[in-house]
Structure 1
Amino acid sequence: MPGKILLAQQETVAAQAIYQLLRDEGYHIMRAANLPETERLLQQLPDLLLLDSNLDDLHQTNRWSDLAFQCQQDSISCLLYSSRVQDCGLSDTAPSWVADTISRPDDPQEVLFKVAAQLTIRRLTYEAELANRQLLKKQQQLEEYQRSAAEIQKSLLPSRLPDIANLEIAWRLVPCEQVGGDLFNVVRLTEDTVLAYVLDVSGHGISSAMVTVSVYQSLSPHAGRIVRRPLNKPPYFRLLSPGEVLQQLEQEYPLERFGKLFTISYLLINTRTGHVRYSNAGHPPPLLARSDGSFQALKAGGSIIGTGCSGPFEEEEVLLQRGDRLFLYSDGITEHSNHHDQQFGQERLFRKLAANRKRALEPACDNLIETLKSHGQDIIFKDDVTLIGIEYLGNGLP
């Protein structure tokens, strides 16, 4: 679309030639013969002011500054020329707010080139400012989505874990700047059976948070149908084993449906006997820290949920003795790196938990998180950091 140009000039042969030249090029021309008319027509926001430096009353006190203020306020570029036809020194004396000068107004090529250049600059500037406004709007929307995702994640976390006989439980979650997909829960299913799980949905933001919500609901003993199945005789339900639960999750959350993968560790703990049944789906294996200082990684399981793996998820059992501890965690711990790209790693995690075995559970968890931060040399966490510690206080039964 042709630009709108305000031509402020004395009535001369050269001025008429410029007017006719620009009009023939298809530009919309407004004309002003003096400064008051120029200031009035500037209110119509032309794309360009083509200003004759010899315009009557232009050199009166403050008129240049008044004109400059009006042009700068409305982002109107100004091309300056002299109706004396040729003024080679004009570029040296032009005010700083003038965008450019035309040294030969009798040269059609120079006039058209400089007019087109200023109009192109104005158009590109407008497009850049528009793109920046749109980008800012999208950034604000993204930040709002991130806040929403953080609130979703926060709402799913237990405000306090249940008091369960024979178990002491501690947990820590340090969210990263971009909301991740970590979630955990510890729930009493029966008088003697406790469910504990930790999961990590791939990616960050609102989409990961929504998948987290869905999985949370699926694993709810009351709202979901994966954790237990109804029976028509007492006790009128059956708890699915960890391997069965993970197989059900694999069927419910295919990648093509949700666009997300997730890992999970799933444990059923008998608080009376100390028996633990567990299975993992691609998640870092829970650690069993024995009271005698020995460690065992609970590795049984299968692949990540969502990959379409049809094979069974292996499950195993371990027996807890008094003082034994289980630690469930996310890869935000083992993969946290320092400035030398050295990950914290599972081996370092083992050593730190071994060194803390004589501490109470809560201080032991706090100390591990502080050690993790120290290892990272104050680098911000790129992923959620989740840690659950469970200590068995019962006597156990064979």
Structure 2
Amino acid sequence: MSQGSKPVKQDHLSGETVGAPARVLVVDDSRAQRQLLAMYLRRWGYEVFESASAEEALALCSAMRIEVVISDWMMTGMTGVEFCKRFRALPREGYGYFILLTSKSEKSEIADGLEAGADDFVPKPVSSEELRARLRAGMRIISMQAELVEKNRVVAQTLEELQRLYDSLDRDLVEARKLQQTLVRDRFRDFGRATVSLMIRSSGHVGGDLVGCFQLDDRRIAAYSVDVSGHGVASAMMTARLAGYLSGSSPEQNLAFQAMPDGGRMVRPPARLMMEFNRMMLEELQVEQYFTMAYAEVDLLSGDVRLAQAGHPHPVVLRSDGRLERVGSGGMPVGLIPDAVYDDTHFTLHRGDRLFLMSDGITECPGEGGFELGEDGLKRMLVRLADLDSPALLEALVWDLARHAGTDRLPDDVSGLILDFRS
């Protein structure tokens, strides 16, 4: 075994040696043939190793990285084809290019060599120019394979970094979901002469729907349903801000109350509240988002209701005798145009009646055929579920929506509020 060295590197386009060493192993039981090939290879700038047998060559290939093997086909002991099979079975980094030297020309024999893993063949007697061309082709393949491996390594590293970022973002969104759920901490409120049941289901980690209720004074309560445009974190942040403006625990921040010069507070009528929200969105917050809303002020003694609607689905009154009534006068979404005008709608709840506020995730839920549920589909669901109490009705409504959509992964946030009047 002998070696010579010269710093070389293969350019994968030209096949020329340009910088770092490329190792070539010559395997032949003819010493004269090995020396002749080695002389050519050193002249061309390769680092050359020689082996007199396939067994000796396998030991060398196991101990060090060899880029190219040039092996005679017919040798004493292990043949070149058998050696090629054993060479391919060795654990190694990078590709090893294998050239067989042969006087065989039968197609079946050539096929055996290819099946064993040979990359190329050079006929004997060896032409130096042909061998050099074959080596250049082999080095181009090795260079491209090394380049591909490096690109795959970079891609894998990038994917790993993206996965870490995704996992971190996913953990943050899970925590954000928990925080958003606290905005509707109580899913059932008892105000004595009325109860309020609430339901909210986000289509993603976080959503843009909000439902709630709070006490206005000794005889009046407010109930609302909000749907912020868009989905995801931005919408969730807006719902959190709106929840602060409709907080029963912080009346000094609640826009439903207007501060008076004498230090007292006056309750804003629903339509005036919508106008105040619209002014605040356009003049103070100045965000790209808008929201729809239904807001009801309910007198617990008389059952009188004053309701304003801003681009939100029409609320439904479920009468105690089984009738369903759509209420509300429409209106523009909040935050779209300056000086939008909203109207109050008046109606009365009687003992046993229920007021249902909902987001458009219910009425616009697409079915398997692509058709939306719509108000008529919602009414059919409510008639079928009317015998259930309100918390159970809201839960069953979500299940019916999943059956309608053909999946429990609904495309939009879904929320609803039912006020049971029992005075």
Question: TM tier, shorter chain?
Answer: 0.7 to 0.9
TM-score, normalising length: structure 1: 0.78
Give the partner amino acid of 1:202: S
- Verify the 8 A CA contact 1:52 1:82 in the aligned structure 2: yes
Give the partner amino acid of 1:119: S
1:78 corresponds to 2:102: no
CA distance in structure 1 between the partners assigned to 2:42 and 2:239 by the alignment? 67
TM-score, normalising length: structure 2: 0.74
Q: Which deviates more from structure 2 when the two are superposed, residues 147-156 or residues 315-324?
A: 147-156
Name the residue aligned to 1:45. none
Shift of 1:392: 0.8
Bigger Rg, which one: 2
Name the residue aligned to 1:124. 148
- Verify the 8 A CA contact 1:80 1:94 in the aligned structure 2: no
Give 1:343-358 correspondences, 5 Å limit. Answer: 343-358=372-387
Shift of 1:54: 5.5
RMSD of aligned alpha carbons = 3.8
- Select 2:316's aligned residue among 272, 275, 287: 287
Q: What whole-Å deviation, never above 9, does each CA across 1:274-316 have from its counterpart, x for those lacking one?
A: 2222222222121122223333323334322332443222332
Aligned residues: 377
Give the 3 Å change call, closer, same or farther, for CA 169–218 of structure 1 in structure 2.
Answer: closer
1:237 corresponds to 2:259: no
Name the residue aligned to 1:247. 275
Q: Which deviates more from structure 2 when the two are superposed, residues 130-139 or residues 344-353?
A: 130-139
Shift of 1:80: 1.4
- Verify the 8 A CA contact 2:201 2:415 in the aligned structure 1: yes
Structure 2 stretches lacking a partner, 5+ long = 1-8, 13-19, 27-33, 51-56, 123-127
1:375 match: secondary structure: helix
Give 1:31-110 correspondences, 5 Å limit. Answer: 33=50, 38-42=61-65, 49-53=67-71, 68-71=89-92, 74=93, 76-82=94-100, 92-93=112-113, 101-104=119-122, 106-110=130-134
Name the residue aligned to 1:268. 297
CA distance in structure 2 between the partners assigned to 1:49 and 1:91 by the alignment? 23
Name the residue aligned to 2:335. 306
1:7 corresponds to 2:23: yes
Give the partner amino acid of 1:93: G
2:69 match: secondary structure: strand
- Verify the 8 A CA contact 1:333 1:372 in the aligned structure 2: yes
Q: What whole-Å deviation, never above 9, does each CA across 1:341-371 have from its counterpart, x for those lacking one?
A: 2322211212332344444333433443333
CA distance in structure 2 between the partners assigned to 1:126 and 1:254 by the alignment? 53
- Verify the 8 A CA contact 1:182 1:386 in the aligned structure 2: yes
Give the 3 Å change call, closer, same or farther, for CA 391–64 of structure 1 in structure 2.
Answer: same
2:409 match: secondary structure: coil
- Select 1:205's aligned residue among 211, 215, 232: 232
Shift of 1:329: 1.2
Q: Which deviates more from structure 2 when the two are superposed, residues 81-90 or residues 118-127?
A: 81-90
Shift of 1:66: 8.1
Give the 3 Å change call, closer, same or farther, for CA 340–81 of structure 1 in structure 2.
Answer: same
- Verify the 8 A CA contact 2:278 2:340 in the aligned structure 1: no
Q: Percent identity between the aligned chains? A: 20
1:153 match: secondary structure: helix
Structure 1 stretches lacking a partner, 5+ long = 24-28, 43-47
Give the 3 Å change call, closer, same or farther, for CA 118–253 of structure 1 in structure 2.
Answer: farther
CA distance in structure 1 between the partners assigned to 2:356 and 2:402 by the alignment? 18
Q: What whole-Å deviation, never above 9, does each CA across 1:35-66 have from its counterpart, x for those lacking one?
A: 55544444xxxxx8323345999969999768
Give the 3 Å change call, closer, same or farther, for CA 128–203 of structure 1 in structure 2.
Answer: farther
Shift of 1:202: 2.9
CA distance in structure 2 between the partners assigned to 1:86 and 1:258 by the alignment? 79
Q: What whole-Å deviation, never above 9, does each CA across 1:92-134 have from its counterpart, x for those lacking one?
A: 43677x6x71334935444334433443344335434533553
Q: Which deviates more from structure 2 when the two are superposed, residues 327-336 or residues 268-277?
A: 268-277
CA distance in structure 2 between the partners assigned to 1:86 and 1:14 by the alignment? 19
- Select 2:216's aligned residue among 182, 189, 205: 189
Q: What whole-Å deviation, never above 9, does each CA across 1:353-396 have from its counterpart, x for those lacking one?
A: 234444433343344333333323345312222222111111xx
1:291 match: secondary structure: coil
- Verify the 8 A CA contact 1:90 1:101 in the aligned structure 2: no
Name the residue aligned to 1:375. 404
Give the 3 Å change call, closer, same or farther, for CA 368–119 of structure 1 in structure 2.
Answer: same
Shift of 1:179: 3.7
Give the partner amino acid of 1:116: R
- Verify the 8 A CA contact 1:152 1:209 in the aligned structure 2: no
Name the residue aligned to 1:115. 139
